[in-house]
Amino acid sequence: MAEIDEAQAQRDALAIDRSKGDFKYKEDYAFDAGIGLSPTVIDYIAKVKGEDEWIREFRHKALKIFESLPMPTHWATSDLNNINFQEIRYYLAKSQKPSRTWEEVPDDVKQTFERLGIPEAERKFLAGVEAQFDSEASYSRMKEELEKLGVIFCGPNEGLSQHPEIFRKWFGKVIPAGDNKFAALNSAVFSGGSFIYIPKGVKVAQPLQAYFRINAENFGQFERTLIIADEGSEVTYMEGCTAPKFETATLHSAVVELVALKGAKIQYITVQNWSANVFNLVTKRGIAEENAEVRWIDCNIGSRLTMKYPGVVLRGAGARGEVLSIALANDGQHQDTGAKMIHAAHNTTSNIIAKSISVGNGRSTYRGLVQIPKVFQNCRNNTECDALLINEHSRTDTYPAISVRGQKNSVQHEASVSKVSAEQIFYMMQRGLSEGEAMSLAVNGFVNDLVKEFPMEYSVELKRLIELQMEGSVG
Amino acid sequence: MNTPTTTLGILDAPAQTRETQLFHSADWFAHLRQQGWQRFQTLPMPTREQEKWRFSDTRTLSLEGYAPAPAPSEADVAKLLQRSQLISHPAGLMVHIDGHCVLEPQLSPELAKQGVIFESLEKAVKHHPALLKQHLLQHPVNLGGDKFQALHQAWLRSGYFLYIPTGVHVAQPFVSVQWTLAENSAVFPHALVIADDRAQGQVLDFHFGAQLDSRALAISCCDVHTGQEAKLERLSVQGWGQQTQSFQVDNTCGGRGAKIVAINAALGARRARLENTVRLEGPEANVNLYGITVATDGQEYDQRTLQIHAAPHTKSDLLFKNALLGKSRTIFSGLIKVEPDAQRTDAYQTNRNLILSPEAEADSLPGLEIEANDVKCSHGATTGQVSPEELFYLQARGIPLKVAQELLTQGFLEEVLSKVSHPEACDLLRTLMQEKFHRS
């Protein structure tokens, strides 16, 4: 009995109460654009950032597009209608970012970090205790090395004003403002994010991580990222973190554009773990030129509703695109994720592997698009979607769209839905595991081959995170 | 016959009203048609932006210029009756030309004694109002064809009613042949099939154009109801003329332990849309859905399917195979929907497209919506060409390229053909496929 109580107590302690993340701070922002969306807000953002006239125009045009486009509820969930755009704060200048001390962080959050085995320094950063981490030696060392290689790693503001010859050419080209309603919103009010340029032939050995640049408001609500890998270069970029991100803002809408020039390789890794009140509506797309490779590794665990379909436009012969995706939808969550592969050259190949887990009354959705026009030959796509349903009211949907023209192309798509077999659980329980542990192990097994693709430290954290999310889901 | 009003088309209210008065005195039936007409008026034409019409070429959708055709001449009737003798020894054969019933089936006294009903809709409306009122067009339209179904209801006239009573097994197939003959003829074939508890039967539906290039509009509906443990097989062959627009809405309900096999073969029409909904209502219901298509130059086949699992322990399996030649296009959009209480569901869906021309396009939208957790569901979609290795193998044995291609395509389609249990119907379908292949 005592044992059970203890287990329950432990579970209760670890059940992440997302409301604890609603940190409240005094609102004494000096550069506050106010609540709501209007041309005045746009002008304000442009002015505070000291942007060039063309960026201001770009923003205004985007706002008009945003206003003219309808909510995509004819195919997407009607939960989108619950977003009130006039109640959102679109910009807070960085000097007005809330600062908090480690003492202010709730105990259960600290415990979660503990369980995830996140290093001390990172914990503080993740909890929003920013100042300490900033002076980390690792950051400056890394920055020095990158500069030696000629790598540019900065924010959008700096990128567009100091290196226009590099970034302006591609900015808003992979994902135009009119791509969809939320890309338009981002284009109108973007701030924060990473602009990266990797020179010809440079292979960056260490993954670049957004949180090394915490000074520069990298986890913005409307962040804008543009990565250009010049011919023959290679880079891995990591965004997000496995620990829960506590946010008061309810709408996040990022735009991420990747450009892999001839023979370049870009790998973009995301672990999304927003708190469960967040609408996470993200547009991500990469262009792969001749023999280039763009690879999205995408893991969605948090948020109330995520809509994210990383895409690759395979524009040069021999280009390769890949999306590996893991989604975990718990109670009250809807992970609407997927992938897009647009084949726009001969001999292009693409691969999509998506795995989703629905727990409690969580809902996970896969939406895919594969397009091969008739003028191209020897294009191949492989898509696999597997869904695992844990509880009676868990839900999963799969909506792929595959359009193939021409004779010499081939696509294959496979999807399956299943639950963890009772035999597997029984087998493990027989060997002394609790039902919860057995379930957690089975789920980790289900995603194991994808988790392996993540960098080492991420994959360890990811496994623990999945264990954590699975707790209390059975029995 | 040649009153001036015959020039009125299917979109003209007076024509619709006049026809209702002419053909049917039953009030409830006139009311049903009137409801359909009103619904048709209020519904908008579908557009490609609608998810249920994604990939469809909705710009070329047009209902203008079609009218119900007058009764055919005796010579035409004789000719087409001859061509309707497709199956030897059917349980009953019914023939319609341009929506006019020209042959009422003669059931054997034995079947009649057992209570089997197989008669034209016109007669059934008069003879079996209770059964028809209960079942005629009572299914919801799920897949986007509301407007067309409403027009079908407004002009509902031709078709058949088949009823197999409890425990009756009928070995021979019930055959219905629908022809379009006149240019710009509008036809609205309807089929209502009820197989009561433990009943067994087979239905063969043929839709043909009298000429290969007949231009017509066909909006057909078929509703199938099965009772407990009933067994039913239905083959529907769509072979309208090559200039015809075809819309077909099929609904099938499976009762407890029912076993249903439904095969849709598509050969004709310029554009053909099939909406096929299967609802597994009783536990242990088992439905197999098959589709087979040879699409040639200028044709668009738009296939939308929905497998609804509304009860536990049900099984459905779908296989649609499309071979594409010339500048043709197929769209397969399928959805498996498992409702929250339908635990222990087995549901499968496979779409295979074989592209045989650089001009062809195959779109595939295989979908799943699963709200129960103890299920086994999967779908697969592939699009590709004839394997070069297999072609090489056949060519190395002296078989010319074109023949080798045809053989491999036949092999590809044979998987579905082999599901047609009636040997004559299977041979007929194979021949029709081959003829079409050779014409292209």
Residues of A in contact with B306 (CB under 8 A): none
* Cβ–Cβ below 8 Å for B370 and A406: no
Asked whether residue A223 is assigned to any structural domain, the reply reads no
Asked whether residue A20 is assigned to any structural domain, the reply reads no
The reply to whether A368 touches chain B by the CB within 8 Å rule is no
Tokens of residue A121, six digits: 């320094």
Q: Residue A75: closest CA among chain B residues belongs to which residue?
A: B51
Confidence of residue B336 (pLDDT cuts 50, 70, 90): very high
* Cβ–Cβ below 8 Å for A404 and B361: yes
* Cβ–Cβ below 8 Å for B382 and A411: yes
Judge whether B260 and B288 are in contact, CB under 8 Å: yes
* Cβ–Cβ below 8 Å for A413 and B360: no
pLDDT at A398 (0 to 100):
93
Number of domains in chain A: 1
What average pLDDT score do residues B184-195 get? 96
Confidence of residue A422 (pLDDT cuts 50, 70, 90): confident
The reply to whether B360 touches chain A by the CB within 8 Å rule is yes
The reply to whether B385 touches chain A by the CB within 8 Å rule is yes
The reply to whether B248 touches chain A by the CB within 8 Å rule is no
Judge whether A194 and A209 are in contact, CB under 8 Å: no
Confidence of residue A130 (pLDDT cuts 50, 70, 90): very low
Asked whether residue A459 is assigned to any structural domain, the reply reads yes
Domain that holds residue B95: 4-385
> What is the rounded radius of gyration, in angstroms, for the C-alpha atoms of chain A?
22
* Cβ–Cβ below 8 Å for B360 and A75: no
Task: Report the share of chain A in percent with pLDDT over 70.
Answer: 77
The reply to whether B44 touches chain A by the CB within 8 Å rule is no
Asked whether residue B276 is assigned to any structural domain, the reply reads yes
The reply to whether B340 touches chain A by the CB within 8 Å rule is yes
Distance of alpha carbon A63 from alpha carbon A269, whole angstroms: 29
Indicate the average pLDDT of chain B.
93
pLDDT at B6 (0 to 100):
47
pLDDT of A50 > 80? The answer is: yes
* Cβ–Cβ below 8 Å for B373 and A387: no
What average pLDDT score do residues A36-64 get? 91
Residue B57 to residues B298, B301, B323, B367, B425: CA-CA distances in angstroms? 12, 10, 19, 21, 32
Question: Rounded to a whole number, what is the distance in Å from the CA of A98 to chain B's nearest CA?
Answer: 42
Asked whether residue A452 is assigned to any structural domain, the reply reads yes
* Cβ–Cβ below 8 Å for B375 and A399: no
* Cβ–Cβ below 8 Å for B54 and A401: yes
Confidence of residue A155 (pLDDT cuts 50, 70, 90): confident
Please report where in the chains the tokens 């007076």 appear, as a residue: B14
Please report where in the chains the tokens 């746009």 appear, as a residue: A42
Residues of B in contact with A418 (CB under 8 A): 375-377
pLDDT at A101 (0 to 100):
58
pLDDT of A231 > 60? The answer is: yes
pLDDT of A22 > 90? The answer is: no
Task: Report the share of chain A in percent with pLDDT over 90.
Answer: 49
Pick among B370, B391, B401, B408 to test the A interface (most A CBs inside 10 A) = B370
What average pLDDT score do residues B234-261 get? 96
Asked whether residue B413 is assigned to any structural domain, the reply reads no
* Cβ–Cβ below 8 Å for A417 and B371: no
Of the given ranges (A112-126, A261-275, B320-334), which has the lowest mean pLDDT?
Answer: A112-126
* Out of A392, A393, A402, closest to residue B363 by CB: A402
Q: Residue A396: closest CA among chain B residues belongs to which residue?
A: B370
Judge whether A292 and A319 are in contact, CB under 8 Å: yes
pLDDT digits (tens, 9 = 90+) for B102-124: 999 999 999 999 999 999 998 99
Confidence of residue A98 (pLDDT cuts 50, 70, 90): very low
pLDDT at A468 (0 to 100):
76
Please report where in the chains the tokens 């055919």 appear, as a residue: B72
* Cβ–Cβ below 8 Å for B340 and A401: no
pLDDT digits (tens, 9 = 90+) for A238-264: 886 555 555 556 788 999 999 999 999
* Out of B51, B54, B367, closest to residue A398 by CB: B367
Tokens of residue A103, six digits: 């003492």
Asked whether residue A269 is assigned to any structural domain, the reply reads no
Indicate the average pLDDT of chain A.
81
* Cβ–Cβ below 8 Å for B379 and A408: no
Confidence of residue A141 (pLDDT cuts 50, 70, 90): low
The reply to whether B114 touches chain A by the CB within 8 Å rule is no
The reply to whether A78 touches chain B by the CB within 8 Å rule is no
pLDDT of A4 > 50? The answer is: no
User: Which of the 8 DSSP states describes residue A274?
Assistant: B
* Cα of A36 vs its chain's centroid, Å: 25
pLDDT of A111 > 50? The answer is: yes
- Other beta carbons within 10 angstroms of residue B340's beta carbon come to 13
Asked whether residue A444 is assigned to any structural domain, the reply reads yes
Residues of B in contact with A387 (CB under 8 A): 368, 370
Pairs of CB atoms within 8 A across A/B: 131
pLDDT of A196 > 60? The answer is: yes
Residue A52 or A109, more confident:
A52
pLDDT of A96 > 60? The answer is: no
pLDDT at B325 (0 to 100):
93
pLDDT at A117 (0 to 100):
58
Judge whether A151 and A199 are in contact, CB under 8 Å: yes
The reply to whether A395 touches chain B by the CB within 8 Å rule is yes
Residues of B in contact with A412 (CB under 8 A): 380-384
Residues of A in contact with B368 (CB under 8 A): 387, 396-398, 415, 417
Q: Residue A407: closest CA among chain B residues belongs to which residue?
A: B358
Confidence of residue B180 (pLDDT cuts 50, 70, 90): very high
Residue A119 or A166, more confident:
A166
pLDDT at A307 (0 to 100):
96
pLDDT at B22 (0 to 100):
65
Asked whether residue A472 is assigned to any structural domain, the reply reads yes
* Cβ–Cβ below 8 Å for A407 and B54: no
Domain that holds residue A442: 421-475
pLDDT of A427 > 80? The answer is: yes
pLDDT at A28 (0 to 100):
44
Q: Report the relative pairing of strands B259-266 and B231-239 from DSSP bridges.
A: parallel
* Out of B51, B364, B369, closest to residue A402 by CB: B364
pLDDT at B288 (0 to 100):
97
The reply to whether B387 touches chain A by the CB within 8 Å rule is no
The reply to whether B341 touches chain A by the CB within 8 Å rule is no
What average pLDDT score do residues A282-298 get? 97
* Cα of B363 vs its chain's centroid, Å: 20
Tokens of residue B418, six digits: 């082999």
Please report where in the chains the tokens 């619904």 appear, as a residue: B39
pLDDT at A99 (0 to 100):
46
Tokens of residue A83, six digits: 């977003």
- The 3-state DSSP class for residue A239 equals strand
The reply to whether B176 touches chain A by the CB within 8 Å rule is no
Distance of alpha carbon A440 from alpha carbon A390, whole angstroms: 10
pLDDT digits (tens, 9 = 90+) for A440-454: 889 989 998 888 887
Pick among B47, B341, B373, B408 to test the A interface (most A CBs inside 10 A) = B373
* Out of A74, A75, A389, closest to residue B370 by CB: A389
User: Which of the 8 DSSP states describes residue B188?
Assistant: -
What average pLDDT score do residues A104-124 get? 60
Number of domains in chain B: 1
pLDDT at A9 (0 to 100):
47
Q: Give the A window 232-251 contacts with B, CB below 8 Å.
A: none
Selection from B120, B196, B178, B187 nearest residue B156 by Cα: B187
pLDDT at A156 (0 to 100):
87
Q: Residue B345: closest CA among chain A residues belongs to which residue?
A: A418
Pick among A405, A410, A413, A423 to test the B interface (most B CBs inside 10 A) = A405
Asked whether residue A447 is assigned to any structural domain, the reply reads yes
pLDDT at A109 (0 to 100):
57
Asked whether residue B416 is assigned to any structural domain, the reply reads no
Question: Rounded to a whole number, what is the distance in Å from the CA of A270 to chain B's nearest CA?
Answer: 26
Task: Report the share of chain B in percent with pLDDT over 70.
Answer: 97
pLDDT digits (tens, 9 = 90+) for B146-179: 999 999 999 998 999 999 999 999 999 999 999 9
Residue A337 or A158, more confident:
A337
* Cβ–Cβ below 8 Å for A389 and B373: yes
What average pLDDT score do residues B215-221 get? 96
Of the given ranges (A22-36, A279-293, B122-136), which has the lowest mean pLDDT?
Answer: A22-36
Confidence of residue B393 (pLDDT cuts 50, 70, 90): very high
- The 3-state DSSP class for residue B202 equals strand
Judge whether A177 and A64 are in contact, CB under 8 Å: no
Residues of A in contact with B323 (CB under 8 A): none
Tokens of residue A455, six digits: 């960098």
The reply to whether A349 touches chain B by the CB within 8 Å rule is no
The reply to whether A34 touches chain B by the CB within 8 Å rule is no
